[in-house]
A and B are shown apart, each in its own frame.
Chain A
Amino acid sequence: MATEQNILEGDTRGFMDTFLERFGFDVSNVGGKSLQRKGPLSEVYLMELVPNLLIIIFGTLVMWSASLTIADASFPRHIAGIAIGLVGAALVWAYDYRVCAGMPTLLLVVDVVLMLLPSVPGLGYNAMGMTGWVQIPLIGLRFQPSELAKPVTILLMASLTAEYNGNIETLRDYLKLCGVLCVPFILILTQPDLGTGLIVMVLGGCIIVCGGAKRSWVLVTLGIIVVGSIVVVASSMTEGLPSILKQYQINRLIVFVDPSVDPSGNGYNLQQAKIAVGSGGLLGKGIGNATQAGGGFLPEAHTDFVFALLAEEFGFLGSVALLLLFGWMTISVVLLALRIESVFGKLVLAGVAAMWSFQLLQNVGMCIGIMPITGIPLPFVSFGSSSMIAQMISAGLVQSVWHHRTKVG
């Protein structure tokens, strides 16, 4: 069959396709066998669903152990978040995502509204020094709209970029896309939530790049971002010049560069997280035996630093298992993007894959000292229902793409 398709598709196939096919992957985008409907299970994309569910189960186990020692880590709330997320994912799965391709304006409006919700008097709720929370009056339920803004931004950018069908011809179009991306990015920065802003930037940028931006533009843009960041950091760290970054952000950068600067102060979190991860060893200390997290030495052990807790309890085997599950899940999304026909679908999947990859890199990376510390949750694992629901909705998007794959011509 592979030979047949090679002949059919001619030079459209890259060497990677051949490479992947050799390992049994079907990367054809013109309705190979696996894309055919066969039985009820074929309505879900098992390649993504299985690792996703395994990650959630693993995360639930970790959260249960965290709830033993950390008062804030409410296990029922975690389960409730998963339940709501499942409902949301199912709804998204049933919904034809392609409808969104035609409503970029509405998506932009939704995105902006979500970002502005915390600023609405009576709704905003201040937590952890950020105003990014919304408290629904009367019910008292709190959530972070910026988390929900992630899948919305994915849809928004994908719908805009898909119009160009993989080839953004003019700089004007490219700049327009970048401009639209800047709207949610800047809105998030004002909350201020640099971490979520970075995620939005990365997933949006990835969609634009996959959607056919010229390489020279991308390189120039990257150059501008790098130079701009250097200017911002340098100006923030120099006295007398305007300080755009907050002092704690500068401290995190300093600690990232040299963790030995202030191990009991600014470098404390990083130091404790690294000790937690490293002391886990090969097999870990076992559930409930984490001295770093259990003794309260590791701060935020159920939220931002949940990976350090996992690595401490389950060791190298456990943490690598989690990473491999994430790898499996992300690659399966990329593979699906390769296989389906709709450009919009491809870009949505690219956005989701970029989001997961980046959040994984950022979250795990900060626990092990290869990324600066930012308050980014680990998808499907960290405590926090907003993140859990938003991530499961994103997973629902993947499933929706699969679900509605044959309806495109």
Chain B
Amino acid sequence: MTLSNIIIALIIILLLSLVGLYVFYSRGDDERLKLDIGGAAPRASGGNDASAERGIRNRLLGLGFAAASVIGVLVGRLWSMQLVSSEEYAKQAEQNRTRTISITAPRGRILDRNGNEIVGNRPSLTVVSKPNVVQNEIEVKLLANLIGMPAAAVRRKIQDQSEGAQSDRTVAQDVSRRVVAFIGEHPYLFEGVSVEERTARHYPFGKLAAHVVGYTGTVTREQLEASEEANDEGTIVYQAGDTVGQAGVEYEYEDVLQGVRGEQGVHVDANGAVSDYSTLVAPQSGSDVILTIDATIQRAAEESLERIIEMVRTTVSKNCCAGSVIAMDVTNGEILAMASAPSYSPNIFVGGISNDDWDALQSDESANPLMNRAISGQYPSASTIKPLSVYAALDNGIANGKSEYECLGWWTGFGQASGQYCWKQSGHGTMNLKSGITYSCDVVFYEIGKGFFESDEPEAFQEKLREWGLGSSTGVDLPGEGVGRVPDAEWKWNYYTNASDADRMWKGGDFTNLAIGQGDLLVTPIQMACAYAGIAMGGVQWRPHVLRSIRSRTGTGSVIDYEAQQLREVVEDRAYQNIIRDGLEGAVYEESEWIALHFLNMKERVAGKSGTGEQVGKNPTAWYIAFAPADNPRYVVVSTIEEATWGSGSAMYVTRDVLGALFGEPDDVMVAISDLQVAD
């Protein structure tokens, strides 16, 4: 530009100087160069006055000169524009008509361990609108009528800026071909409205494993900002309106599932209409995530959980509606099934969840269906902790393999005033550690608690529980895991700040409570799954996980397998291990005939433990944890049901059903309603 300006300036200066020269000389003595005429020439019409004629002549020559100058100036300017600066203008012309459309990459699928598609993609016709359409009342009403939405809802969607202030607003997803055709045929009615073909999440199994796979949603402002701040190589930079994982595997493995956007260069006209296509950078599809989940077992787990909850609700506990179940491979931590009730359909999140749906999911009556109780639910472990209490007692010399206890149903180890009942108030008679587990005799554990209370190192008990993984997260590859709580003296003092000093003190009763898994202890089902996996595997715990492998959908389709990690190994004496295992097997086959009835129809031996976590003002939380085969353990199953009844009378059935699915041996013994009341 500067060069062309200089050239123009030069041309103008040249012309001006020529004109100046001409005028200057015409003023001199040389009459022939004078522009003007002097003197008074006679007014005439015949044109015979020489001086007048010459005046016109010179002025006409000046006119010709001016006309030639015009051509000269224009040519000069064109020379600078079309020859000197031509490339820059050509670049601008190209910029003018070139636009880049980003192409969303298909998200990776989520498959079960056998390759069944739990979450896939499907095409979805989406009506989008420019933000200013909201100002056109008639158009909004037409659009609302066409889609079949209230006009107010359409207006709200168009005003929604969550996808970015400038970007198009999503009005409706999955519209019919009829709507698409109508909008296409009446562009003048729907100015600023267009139809895009997008992909949407698709759930071939419906809500199966909803809590594991999670759901997707439009990227939030916080996520956008976070992705923009992170400048690391390989980090996905989101754009407003992107679909990202918001829960479960979708969230946990977002980096894997999210593809890389492609870019399509297009030539457009001034109205933005595409005339032809130029360069294309193809989008890279996200990788498929293959889960350890087995769809068949998952379905059995969900159905059983639902069925038993329904049964409990309609018989003994009308508030019962929530629970969870986990089936895990104890040899490597693979989770084959993980269900949580109540559940939800991830499909309602596709294309943005409506406010009503969201409010319904958040309401008290719905009992928080979005929560994955298998990892986030925190309950007193109840009697399921008893094997760990036994390990603690044995390891700390509180008891030994020969210890015997007398259960009368009422225990007064801390004096009559603070006496405690065994759950079986008629008493168990003479008990040892093994039978204490088998019959879940509380008195045995009151004694253990008392033993710790009176020992030099009372908190070695809590240390043991922590060693087994309570009070810390398992590191399962799902978001939102709870850590539970192993209470100790320090915690109690700091927690009950409003209580009297005496009440804040750690007491013997706290130990007896801890030993039977009641009181302030909180555990998550996944922690108990790991703990029992450790019991089954002689102390070795594997990190629980739902990811089996990642399969790339681009290039060679390479597969990366999840490498099982050992979470921890708790070294316990072999003899102690046998006491525990015998006790747990006894709990299945010896404690009561009717429990045994449900397991005798399996050819694998099962070791298990029920639990009934007391809740203030509510029905208890039922637990049943089992692993099988008892002699060569493979799977552990943990079931919980909130506001249920005795663990062995409710959660037990769920555990049995899942074991049945794992080993292909369904429970053919009918569940009797009377069984629901059977003792723990």
Q: With an 8 A cutoff between CB atoms, is A165 at the interface? A: yes
Distance in Å from the Cβ of B36 to the closest Cβ of chain A? 4
Known A-B contacts A295-B268, A353-B64; A360 and B81 likewise in contact (beta carbons under 8 Å): no
Please report the total number of B residues contacting A with Cβ < 8 Å.
59
A334 touches B82 (CB 8 A): no
> Could you mark each residue 209-225 of chain A with 1 if its beta carbon is under 8 Å from any beta carbon of chain B, else 0?
11110110000000000
Q: Which of B8, B32, B47, B81 contacts A165 (CB 8 A)?
A: B47
Per the 8 Å Cβ criterion, residues 3-57 of B in contact with A are 8, 31-33, 35-37, 40-41, 43-47, 49-57
Q: Which of B68-76, B317-325, B343-351, B459-467 has 4 or more CB atoms under 8 Å from chain A?
A: B68-76
B86 touches A281 (CB 8 A): yes
Most buried by A among B35, B88, B270: B270
A169 touches B53 (CB 8 A): no
Give the distance in Å from the alpha carbon of A193 to the alpha carbon of B307 in the complex. 85
A361 touches B70 (CB 8 A): yes
Q: With an 8 A cutoff between CB atoms, is B203 at the interface? A: no
Give the distance in Å from the alpha carbon of A337 to the alpha carbon of B270 in the complex. 47
Known A-B contacts A274-B89, A275-B93, A291-B93; A353 and B61 likewise in contact (beta carbons under 8 Å): no
Q: With an 8 A cutoff between CB atoms, is B77 at the interface? A: yes
Known A-B contacts A295-B275, A297-B96, A361-B70; A212 and B56 likewise in contact (beta carbons under 8 Å): yes
Contacts of B41 in A (CB 8 A): 165-167, 169
Give the distance in Å from the alpha carbon of A169 to the alpha carbon of B59 in the complex. 16
Q: With an 8 A cutoff between CB atoms, is B79 at the interface? A: yes
A12 touches B53 (CB 8 A): yes
B92 touches A275 (CB 8 A): yes
Distance in Å from the Cβ of B23 to the closest Cβ of chain A? 9
B67 touches A331 (CB 8 A): yes
Contacts of B66 in A (CB 8 A): 357
A343 touches B32 (CB 8 A): no
A360 touches B74 (CB 8 A): yes
A338 touches B60 (CB 8 A): yes
Distance in Å from the Cβ of A97 to the closest Cβ of chain B? 16
Contacts of B97 in A (CB 8 A): 291, 295, 297
Q: Which of A327, A342, A343, A350 contacts B63 (CB 8 A)?
A: A350
Q: With an 8 A cutoff between CB atoms, is A183 at the interface? A: no
Give the distance in Å from the alpha carbon of A45 to the alpha carbon of B267 in the complex. 49
Q: With an 8 A cutoff between CB atoms, is B269 at the interface? A: yes
Q: With an 8 A cutoff between CB atoms, is B246 at the interface? A: no
B47 touches A343 (CB 8 A): yes
Q: With an 8 A cutoff between CB atoms, is B58 at the interface? A: yes
B74 touches A365 (CB 8 A): yes
Q: Which of B36, B81, B94 contacts A278 (CB 8 A)?
A: B81
Q: With an 8 A cutoff between CB atoms, is B90 at the interface? A: yes
> Please, which residue of chain A has its CB at the minimum distance from the CB of B61?
A16
Q: With an 8 A cutoff between CB atoms, is B271 at the interface? A: yes
Q: With an 8 A cutoff between CB atoms, is B476 at the interface? A: no
B56 touches A331 (CB 8 A): no
Q: Which of A36-44, A53-61, A317-325 has 4 or more CB atoms under 8 Å from chain B?
A: A317-325
Contacts of A330 in B (CB 8 A): 64, 67
Distance in Å from the Cβ of B37 to the closest Cβ of chain A? 6
> Could you mark each residue 169-199 of chain A with 1 if its beta carbon is under 8 Å from any beta carbon of chain B, else 0?
1000000000000000000000000000000
Most buried by B among A11, A275, A326, A364: A275
Distance in Å from the Cβ of A138 to the closest Cβ of chain B? 31
Q: With an 8 A cutoff between CB atoms, is B85 at the interface? A: yes
Per the 8 Å Cβ criterion, residues 3-55 of A in contact with B are 11-17, 29
Q: Which of A279, A356, A368 contacts B77 (CB 8 A)?
A: A368
Give the distance in Å from the alpha carbon of A281 to the alpha carbon of B75 in the complex. 13
Known A-B contacts A166-B56, A319-B82; A327 and B67 likewise in contact (beta carbons under 8 Å): yes
Known A-B contacts A282-B86, A296-B270, A370-B8; A277 and B55 likewise in contact (beta carbons under 8 Å): no
Known A-B contacts A14-B58, A166-B56, A295-B96; A324 and B71 likewise in contact (beta carbons under 8 Å): yes
Per the 8 Å Cβ criterion, residues 482-508 of B in contact with A are none
A215 touches B35 (CB 8 A): yes
B269 touches A280 (CB 8 A): no
Give the distance in Å from the alpha carbon of A311 to the alpha carbon of B81 in the complex. 10
Per the 8 Å Cβ criterion, residues 243-275 of B in contact with A are 267-271, 275
Per the 8 Å Cβ criterion, residues 298-342 of A in contact with B are 311, 315-316, 319-320, 323-324, 326-327, 330-331, 334-335, 337-338, 341-342
Q: With an 8 A cutoff between CB atoms, is B83 at the interface? A: yes
Q: With an 8 A cutoff between CB atoms, is A157 at the interface? A: no
Most buried by B among A165, A212, A324, A342: A165
Contacts of B219 in A (CB 8 A): none
A212 touches B55 (CB 8 A): yes
Give the distance in Å from the alpha carbon of A278 to the alpha carbon of B32 in the complex. 44
Contacts of B271 in A (CB 8 A): 296
Contacts of B70 in A (CB 8 A): 357-358, 360-361
A278 touches B270 (CB 8 A): no
Distance in Å from the Cβ of B105 to the closest Cβ of chain A? 30
A215 touches B36 (CB 8 A): yes
| Interface of B (DSSP majority class) | helix
A282 touches B45 (CB 8 A): no
Q: With an 8 A cutoff between CB atoms, is A155 at the interface? A: no
> Please, which residue of chain B has its CB at the minimum distance from the CB of A334?
B64
A277 touches B90 (CB 8 A): no
Distance in Å from the Cβ of B598 to the closest Cβ of chain A? 77
Contacts of A160 in B (CB 8 A): none
> Please, which residue of chain B has its CB at the minimum distance from the CB of A317?
B82
Known A-B contacts A12-B53, A163-B45, A165-B47; A337 and B60 likewise in contact (beta carbons under 8 Å): yes
> Could you mark each residue 152-165 of chain B with 1 if its beta carbon is under 8 Å from any beta carbon of chain A, else 0?
00000000000000
Q: With an 8 A cutoff between CB atoms, is B78 at the interface? A: yes
Contacts of B31 in A (CB 8 A): 11
Give the distance in Å from the alpha carbon of A324 to the alpha carbon of B85 in the complex. 22
Known A-B contacts A15-B33, A292-B93, A343-B47; A327 and B78 likewise in contact (beta carbons under 8 Å): no
> Please, which residue of chain B has its CB at the minimum distance from the CB of A298?
B270
Distance in Å from the Cβ of B98 to the closest Cβ of chain A? 10
Contacts of B43 in A (CB 8 A): 163-165, 167, 169
Known A-B contacts A14-B61, A281-B90, A368-B78; A295 and B52 likewise in contact (beta carbons under 8 Å): no
Give the distance in Å from the alpha carbon of A370 to the alpha carbon of B8 in the complex. 9
B64 touches A335 (CB 8 A): yes
Known A-B contacts A319-B78, A331-B67, A334-B67; A346 and B89 likewise in contact (beta carbons under 8 Å): no
A338 touches B74 (CB 8 A): no
Per the 8 Å Cβ criterion, residues 343-374 of A in contact with B are 343, 346, 350, 353-354, 356-358, 360-361, 364-365, 368-370
Distance in Å from the Cβ of A18 to the closest Cβ of chain B? 10
Give the distance in Å from the alpha carbon of A16 to the alpha carbon of B270 in the complex. 51
Distance in Å from the Cβ of B40 to the closest Cβ of chain A? 6
Give the distance in Å from the alpha carbon of A129 to the alpha carbon of B40 in the complex. 49
> Please, which residue of chain A has its CB at the minimum distance from the CB of B56?
A166
B47 touches A341 (CB 8 A): yes
Q: With an 8 A cutoff between CB atoms, is A92 at the interface? A: no
Contacts of A315 in B (CB 8 A): 82
Contacts of A14 in B (CB 8 A): 32-33, 54, 57-58, 61
Give the distance in Å from the alpha carbon of A211 to the alpha carbon of B58 in the complex. 11
Known A-B contacts A327-B67, A331-B68, A354-B63; A368 and B81 likewise in contact (beta carbons under 8 Å): yes
> Please, which residue of chain B has its CB at the minimum distance from the CB of A354?
B63
Distance in Å from the Cβ of B609 to the closest Cβ of chain A? 74
> Please, which residue of chain B has its CB at the minimum distance from the CB of A294?
B269
15 pairs, A vs B, C-beta closer than 8 Å? A14-B58, A162-B45, A165-B46, A212-B52, A212-B55, A215-B35, A278-B90, A280-B86, A320-B78, A338-B61, A353-B67, A358-B70, A360-B71, A360-B74, A368-B81
Report which B residues bind A (CB closer than 8 A). 8, 31-33, 35-37, 40-41, 43-47, 49-61, 63-64, 66-68, 70-71, 73-75, 77-79, 81-83, 85-86, 88-90, 92-94, 96-97, 267-271, 275
Known: A295-B270, A361-B73, A368-B78; 10 extra A-B contacts, CB below 8 A, are A11-B31, A162-B45, A169-B41, A209-B59, A278-B88, A280-B86, A295-B97, A295-B267, A331-B64, A343-B45
- 8 nearest CB pairs, A to B: A278-B89, A296-B270, A166-B52, A334-B64, A279-B93, A316-B82, A327-B71, A295-B269
